[in-house]
Amino acid sequence: MDLKMFQMLEFMNNRLSNIEKNISRIDEKLEFSLSLQRNHLIRIKNGEFIDDANILMGKPYNDLSPQRAFEIFQNPNLDFLILDVSHENFKGRKKLEGSVKIPLEELPRRYAEISSKTTPILVFSEQGLRSIQACELLIKKGFFNLNNVSGGHRFWPSLDENLGPTT
């Protein structure tokens, strides 16, 4: 009889532990969702473009066409940061004027070099794949105003006219 009681208590303890873990996961997801919705509201309030999919699907960053990103780049009235997460040895193009270069492999250690978590960030890479990974990593670090530039350097319009010094 004592063995059955002990087994029953052990079973109940395991179930309670699983329930506590599930509640903790739900709490984390809820907190992230609330933060994301707050960010979307701030972006709307500031007149920034947000794709419908970002709101409806809970997507935490924008995918911008190179043309749209280029319009932002050329607008002197907009405050933004350009983050280039291209591979350290990437020399196929010149450095974008004013960009911060942090290769994706170094971003988990160097993300604190990004001056503001609220300033819009245009994230570039060679072809736009590494920049998706960078956006996902930065979301986990508390950045919400992220814009992946689809196609990256490869499709950047008028590249030669708008670049700063070679890196």
Q: Amino acid letter at 37?
A: Q
Are 19 and 44 found together in one domain? yes
Are 146 and 99 found together in one domain? yes
Query: Would 44 be classed as within a structural domain?
Result: yes
State residue 158's pLDDT score.
Answer: 60
Are 111 and 139 found together in one domain? yes
State residue 10's pLDDT score.
Answer: 94
Measure the CA–CA gap between 117 and 63, rounded to whole angstroms. Answer: 18
Q: Which two tokens stand for residue 82?
A: 């350009």
Q: Which two tokens stand for residue 8?
A: 């029953």
Q: Which residues pair with 63 in a beta bridge?
A: 148
Query: Would 5 be classed as within a structural domain?
Result: yes
The total of structural domains in the chain comes to 2
Query: Would 167 be classed as within a structural domain?
Result: no
Are 112 and 79 found together in one domain? yes
CATH of the domain at 89: 3.40.250.10
Are 80 and 122 found together in one domain? yes
The structure tokens 């020399």 sit at: 91
Query: Would 132 be classed as within a structural domain?
Result: yes
pTM recorded for the entire structure: 0.73
Are 81 and 8 found together in one domain? no
What single-letter DSSP state applies at residue 9? H
- pLDDT tens track of the chain, all 167 residues? 688 999 999 999 999 999 999 999 999 989 888 888 887 887 788 777 788 878 888 888 889 999 989 998 898 888 899 999 998 888 766 677 788 999 999 999 999 999 888 888 999 999 889 999 999 999 989 888 899 999 888 888 864 544 443 33
How many beta carbons lie within 10 A of that of residue 148, not counting itself? 25
Determine the structural domain holding residue 99 and report its residue range.
Answer: 60-162
Query: Would 14 be classed as within a structural domain?
Result: yes
State residue 105's pLDDT score.
Answer: 96
State residue 49's pLDDT score.
Answer: 76
Measure the CA–CA gap between 122 and 51, rounded to whole angstroms. Answer: 15
Query: Would 55 be classed as within a structural domain?
Result: no
Are 14 and 71 found together in one domain? no
CA dihedral 37, 41, 129, 126 (to 10 degrees): -150
State residue 159's pLDDT score.
Answer: 46
Are 74 and 103 found together in one domain? yes
Are 113 and 153 found together in one domain? yes
Are 32 and 106 found together in one domain? no
Are 38 and 120 found together in one domain? no
Query: Would 150 be classed as within a structural domain?
Result: yes
3-state secondary structure (DSSP) of residue 43: helix
